[in-house]
Amino acid sequence: MSTAWIIGTLASALGIGVGGGLAWIMKGFQQGFVFIYSLCTGLIMGLLFLEMIPESIELGGWAILAFGVATGLILFQYIHHFMDKITIITNSHQKDIFVRSGVLLTISIAIHNFPVGIALGSTIGTDFGGLMLTTLVLHNIPEGIIIFTPLFLAGFGFFTWVLFTSLISFPILIGSVLGQFFEIGMTPLLAFIINLAITVIFMVAIKEIFGEAVKNSSLWFCSMIGIIGFGMISIYLFLLN
């Protein structure tokens, strides 16, 4: 039991790291960011509507989902306004969009990973805990892809991959310790935290990622590629189950 936080953190880092590696490969073959951004939007929508939202409803119900979404919209507007003032990192507007999208997705998925860590810490050593570890690794792979794709397109490299993988895995570590030693269950408060993350991820996908792709292409093309991404996640989750 004392190794729960180590196991959970390494499992999360493995999944995110593999996803980052796949994002790097996609970057190498991409002929324009429109295709990659549209595909990532579809991947994100698939994760949200096929995995994260059903998980949230199961944990907290529809009322907490609605409250979390409303609060998440306010939180997103605040973060977006704040980052508009401080995210002047490059001399390219396009790269600034990439950086902002990557940072916002990292924050959101890190928030989502905290309750996951709590559940893992309280079940590690059981059959369910072993299943959660496998699920954590496999489900973090597409999350790694959607986080690192904009960051790699902005020109970041290996150090960013290591740093952001660590940042995303850290909430798993903290959550696992709390879940193990304090036996915290999946309370409505934790479901609310998940809903905040879901809302911010959704808004980043639509406003930052998909919106930017449409500006540089057509709604029809971006939607078709997005549907392909959604289908890929559908098949991936089906094979996992």
Query: What pLDDT, in 10s, does the model give residues 57-100?
Result: 887 889 999 998 999 898 888 877 776 665 555 566 677 777 87
Segment 103-119 mean pLDDT: 79
Q: What is the pLDDT of residue 222?
A: 93
Contact call for residues 20 and 143 (beta carbons, < 8 A): no
Mind listing the pLDDT tens digit for each residue in 12-69? 788 888 888 878 877 665 556 688 778 888 988 988 898 888 878 887 889 999 998 9
Q: Is the pLDDT of residue 143 over 80?
A: no
Contact call for residues 175 and 116 (beta carbons, < 8 A): yes
Instruction: State how far the Cα of 127 lies from the Cα of 116, in Å rounded to an integer.
Output: 16
Percent of the chain with pLDDT over 70: 78
User: CA separation (Å) from 90 to 97, 104, 157, 173?
Assistant: 10, 17, 15, 33
In which element (H, E) is residue 126 found? Answer: none
Q: Is the pLDDT of residue 127 over 80?
A: no
Of 196, 17, 215, nearest to 97 (Cα)? 215
pTM (2 d.p.): 0.72
Instruction: State how far the Cα of 118 lies from the Cα of 121, in Å rounded to an integer.
Output: 5
Q: Is the pLDDT of residue 241 over 80?
A: no
